[in-house]
Amino acid sequence: MVIINESEKKVEIAYPCEWKYKVIGEDKEKIEEAVKYVMGERPHTLDFSKTSNKGSYHSYELCTLVHNEDDRTELFRQLKEHNDVK
């Protein structure tokens, strides 16, 4: 659950929670393989979202349970650093 603290203009996230990542790349199969590599045996769903107008990029929505901020940001870092993810 995401709570916006109006007095400090800070977002507070109640962990554990379901988190969604947008994963974008050029090759559908390589994106799916990258997600499998990063997620390992961790339960998740990966749903195709859309293809860019020119067909150059494909986007997916990755959803998983994150346990704390470090967990959430580490998954983001691993996805971001993977060669097949933009």
Model confidence over 23-42: pLDDT tens digits?
999 999 999 999 999 999 99
Model confidence over 38-81: pLDDT tens digits?
999 999 999 999 999 999 999 999 999 999 999 999 999 999 99
pLDDT of 12 over the 90 cut: no
Pairing of strands 44-51, 58-66: antiparallel
pLDDT of 10 over the 90 cut: no
